[in-house]
Amino acid sequence: MAPRVPSRGGSRQAEIPIPAWLRARILHLGPEVMVLDKPAGLPVSARSGESLESFLPALRMGKRRDPQPTHRLDQDTAGCLVLGRTAPMLARINALFAERRVGKTYWAVVRGGPAGHSGLVDARLLKVSSAAKGWRMVVDAKGDPARTAWRVLGRGEGIALLEMAPETGRTHQLRVHCAHLGCPILGDAMYGGGAGALHLLARAIDLPLDPPLRVEAPVPDHMRAAVARCG
């Protein structure tokens, strides 16, 4: 997908060219904040192999330090990822996420569809693991609080397009909550959505800065046909 991973060593990190595929995914570039359209399949960080972290030196763009992600986005989820370009802004945005003041909007194409037009999933999530299946998240009263507001944007034959606004940020929250509604996300084999690419997009991010910042990500190629089917 991407060119050779740039080296993090040496004194010429600021001069590392940005790969064309990555430059095309810069949705917003300000003095202190950058928003990327993270491609599905690329982890933000990884112990080994290619990750977005490997390309942070190329995203300095005149700064002395690498920009840093301010929140998590799963490897198979595409869309808006916010990076802080200065230490003060990184701390500020981290605090906004911790205070749940950042608006997060996701789109998901799901199998079937929920009853009704909109609603709120209020279902605690617990991490479990087994030798046979590995780890996963499950709805369990002993888990951590997790709330997701949702509404139907459109329906197609056997599928629906949901807009979701998570009020909490638990691991796999949207994936498990969709499955809990009886309509797992397409391509989410772990939670009943079948094989293929995960049809989950971090569609928009709203940061209560001065001035406020709202950034939207386009629908990725692998979701376009299904989104179109939903009207």
Q: What is the DSSP string of the chain?
A: ---PPPPS-SS-GGGPPPPHHHHTTEEEE-SSEEEEEEPTT--S--SSS--GGGGGGGG-TT-SS--EE-S---TT-EEEEEEESSHHHHHHHHHHHHTT-SEEEEEEEEES--SSSEEEEE--EEEEEETTTEEEEEE-TTSB--EEEEEEEEEETTEEEEEEEESS--TTHHHHHHHHTT-PBTT-GGGTS-SSS--EEEEEEEE--SS-EEEE-PPPHHHHHHHHHT-
**Active-site annotation holder among 66, 74, 144, 206:** 74
Assess whether 74 carries a catalytic annotation. yes
Catalytic residues: 74
